[in-house]
Structure 1
Amino acid sequence: MSRPSSPEGRATSSSPAADQVSAGNALWADIRALLPNTKKDLKLDFSEKVEESVISLLQQAGDLLYGAGSLCSGGTRETCLQVSEIIIDYSWEKLNIGTWRDVDKDWRRVYSYGCLFKVLCMCSEQGTIADTIRVCDMGLLMGASILDNILVRIINVLQKHLTYGKRSAEEDTKESHRKKIRNDHTTVPSIKSEEVIPRLHCPSLEHFRENYMIPQKPVILEGIVDHWPCMKKWSLDYLRQIAGFRTVPVEVGSRYTDEEWSQKLMIVNDFIDQYIVNKNSIGYLAQHQLFDQVIGRKYIRLYSPQESENLYPHETQILHTTSQVDVEDPDLVKFPKFERAAFQACILTPGQVLFIPVKYWHYVRSLDVSFSVSFWWS
């Protein structure tokens, strides 16, 4: 179909600003279609633990959303944004008083509604989509599910409207420099034949269960995840594209016992830029584990539960499943029995799956930029 022409016969085209407005209108239309038809369907009903003043603010935000005025108008949007931020700030305080298990679910729902109303204001004013996704993620991480998981559905819409620009040459240079630094400092340990973890190609479930799971023997399984799409798709660029603007909880530090170890909420892009974390402490879990290697290589050591005394677990209840020993640079004066602790080892490569039996101590160190997927079961 040809473009309409101007009176002078020249083809007309919309300006970048007009295109932006059009894209913003399309986004708002897609988001608005996810909302309940009426304010009553918002289900703003809460227990007596939520103060009347807070419920009044929620009702006010609902009125602004479903009232005669358009949320796209400046005054209505600004008022709704202010109300939603008050709801978020107040409920945030409730979420952070005392222990998490004691937080009433209604306050988590209040927080999610505050995030929802703020997101709607941001979408209606054509705000930055990345910032809007972050607000949704905060509602998902700290709040409770509302309106059939509407925040998840909004993120799905936002991601479709998100444009992914290519990294600049400067960013590519920085990434290459970071990789070189990591590779220059990576040593690949040698593994003695008596320490090698056995390998098994595509065993039947019965064979695996009878020969490895029940007797609790570690084994590397090969050929069982070759069909996974991630084995061909995953890369740093791919993860940036599908989740680069998502907010996730991240453990920062090389091991749980370090003083600088911490947990924080980060955007995936920032995590990739700032950290490639090697969690190289040694500990165990009270569940069976399948450790699936997807990208890069990892050096792994396994110690059986019978070696626990030689591994010097921390005496505190919180860290009693973590060893005090630096596995690859042990202080044998302080931990003399560690020298006689027997272990099995492997260098796990993409496509391999390591079965770690329950209560087996495991030490993991990345040899490359590395991603793994773990499954636990009792």
Structure 2
Amino acid sequence: MKLNLQDIPRVKTISKADFIKNYFKPQKPVVIENCIEDWPAYKKWSLDYMKTVAGDKTVPLYDDRPVDYKEGFNEAHATMKMSEYVDLLKREPTKFRIFLWNILKEVPQLQKDFKYPDFGLRLMKGLPMLFFGGKESHTFMHYDIDLANIFHFHFEGKKQCILFDQKQNKYLYKIPHSLITREDIDFHNPDFEKWPALKHAKGWICNLNHGEVLYMPEGYWHYMRYITPGFSMSLRAIARNPKNLGKAIYNVFLMRNYDNIMRRIRGQKWIDWKNQKAIINTHKTLQQEV
């Protein structure tokens, strides 16, 4: 048995009006295949190019180890020179990933290689972020703290993306006071005996190729798996739905701080309680629906 996923619609190109009408307003994902051929990045950006322009930069690396109460929010698990990291990616599979790497801050010259496309939404121009991963590395299923509209541009190789909207929360074993699901769920090959509620979740799936862009609507859960080594850039636009905007403000100013305080006070007991609560809450909902 597999997750209940439908293919994300794909279009070659799209007008601003069609994007707003067919995808932004109904909050549905879409892959745009031919959007950035006029960017220098389309021809230039590869792992080798990143090694050339940023090889001497020390980069933060993350793997798929479970959250530890001693670690701060988004604290790196290791560091490495970008040149060494690219060599590692090309040499062998690795769990190490880079995420939320601000290219304006780290390598300003990369700004010349891309433009901010006009999809009818105001993109946050100070936050173009890069994400790198090795073959078979993956992110945990999560959604972004600000519930932004995200445009995810992929470079080199192939990447699989699984998405769920916020209506599926009750089936996903969401961890309380956080933005992730249970970290021991393998969304690529889930164990439905252990996680029966997942059978009821309805989501979306696509494989992204070089030069394609995935639009992820506000607050969408996403799980990313690198089929081959590669990297992506995300551009974001602030949540427009008042409810989502309210959630974003709550997450940034209240939820994150409360979670950090509880980690300091209760330590690993807090993490363990949240993980157990995710199962209790999800299965309680499932029993009420059956």
TM-score (structure 2 length as normaliser): 0.58
Equivalence for 1:297: 158
CA-CA distance at 1:355 after TM superposition: 0.3
In structure 2, relative to structure 1, the CA distance for the partners of 1:362 and 1:280 (3 Å cut) is same
Greater strand proportion:
2
SS at match of 1:269: helix
SS at match of 1:283: coil
In structure 2, relative to structure 1, the CA distance for the partners of 1:300 and 1:224 (3 Å cut) is same
Equivalence for 1:267: 81
- Which whole-Å CA distance do the structure 1 matches of 2:158 and 2:66 have between them? 21
Q: Which runs of 5+ in 2 are unaligned?
A: 89-95, 97-132, 239-290
- Which whole-Å CA distance do the structure 1 matches of 2:54 and 2:139 have between them? 25
Counterpart residue identity of residue 181, structure 2: S
In structure 2, relative to structure 1, the CA distance for the partners of 1:296 and 1:258 (3 Å cut) is farther
Q: CA RMSD in A?
A: 2.6
- Which whole-Å CA distance do the structure 1 matches of 2:186 and 2:76 have between them? 19
1:196 aligns with 2:10: no
1:362-377 matched pairs, under 5 angstroms: 362-377=222-237
CA-CA distance at 1:281 after TM superposition: 1.0
- Which whole-Å CA distance do the structure 1 matches of 2:28 and 2:65 have between them? 26
Equivalence for 1:341: 201
In 2, are the aligned partners of 1:256 and 1:281 still within 8 Å (CA)? Answer: no
In 2, are the aligned partners of 1:191 and 1:345 still within 8 Å (CA)? Answer: no
In 2, are the aligned partners of 1:245 and 1:269 still within 8 Å (CA)? Answer: yes
Rg (Cα) greater in structure: 1
Equivalence for 1:280: 139
1:233 aligns with 2:233: no
- Which whole-Å CA distance do the structure 1 matches of 2:85 and 2:62 have between them? 9
In 1, are the aligned partners of 2:47 and 2:230 still within 8 Å (CA)? Answer: no
Equivalence for 1:212: 23
SS at match of 2:202: coil
Deviations 1:213-262 (A, max 9, x none): 121000111211111112211223222211101223x2320366489984
Q: Which runs of 5+ in 1 are unaligned?
A: 1-189
Q: 1:310 aligns with which of 171, 187, 201?
A: 171
1:127-276 matched pairs, under 5 angstroms: 195-248=6-59, 250-254=60-64, 257=67, 262-274=76-88, 275=96, 276=133
1:35-46 matched pairs, under 5 angstroms: none
- Which whole-Å CA distance do the structure 2 matches of 1:299 and 1:374 have between them? 15
- Which whole-Å CA distance do the structure 2 matches of 1:209 and 1:355 have between them? 11
Q: 1:323 aligns with which of 169, 177, 181?
A: 181
| Aligned pairs, number | 184
Counterpart residue identity of residue 302, structure 1: L
Q: 2:221 aligns with which of 332, 344, 361?
A: 361
1:22-101 matched pairs, under 5 angstroms: none
Counterpart residue identity of residue 14, structure 2: P
SS at match of 2:206: strand
Deviations 1:122-170 (A, max 9, x none): xxxxxxxxxxxxxxxxxxxxxxxxxxxxxxxxxxxxxxxxxxxxxxxxx
- Which whole-Å CA distance do the structure 2 matches of 1:336 and 1:358 have between them? 26
- Which whole-Å CA distance do the structure 1 matches of 2:61 and 2:138 have between them? 9
- Which whole-Å CA distance do the structure 2 matches of 1:216 and 1:225 have between them? 22
- Which whole-Å CA distance do the structure 2 matches of 1:351 and 1:255 have between them? 30
Greater helix proportion:
1
Counterpart residue identity of residue 342, structure 1: K
CA-CA distance at 1:308 after TM superposition: 0.7
CA-CA distance at 1:272 after TM superposition: 2.0
In structure 2, relative to structure 1, the CA distance for the partners of 1:191 and 1:201 (3 Å cut) is farther
In structure 2, relative to structure 1, the CA distance for the partners of 1:272 and 1:309 (3 Å cut) is same
Identity %: 31
- Which whole-Å CA distance do the structure 1 matches of 2:156 and 2:66 have between them? 23
In 1, are the aligned partners of 2:48 and 2:86 still within 8 Å (CA)? Answer: no
In 1, are the aligned partners of 2:46 and 2:155 still within 8 Å (CA)? Answer: no
Counterpart residue identity of residue 340, structure 1: H
Equivalence for 2:112: none
In structure 2, relative to structure 1, the CA distance for the partners of 1:342 and 1:219 (3 Å cut) is same
Equivalence for 1:186: none
Counterpart residue identity of residue 26, structure 2: P
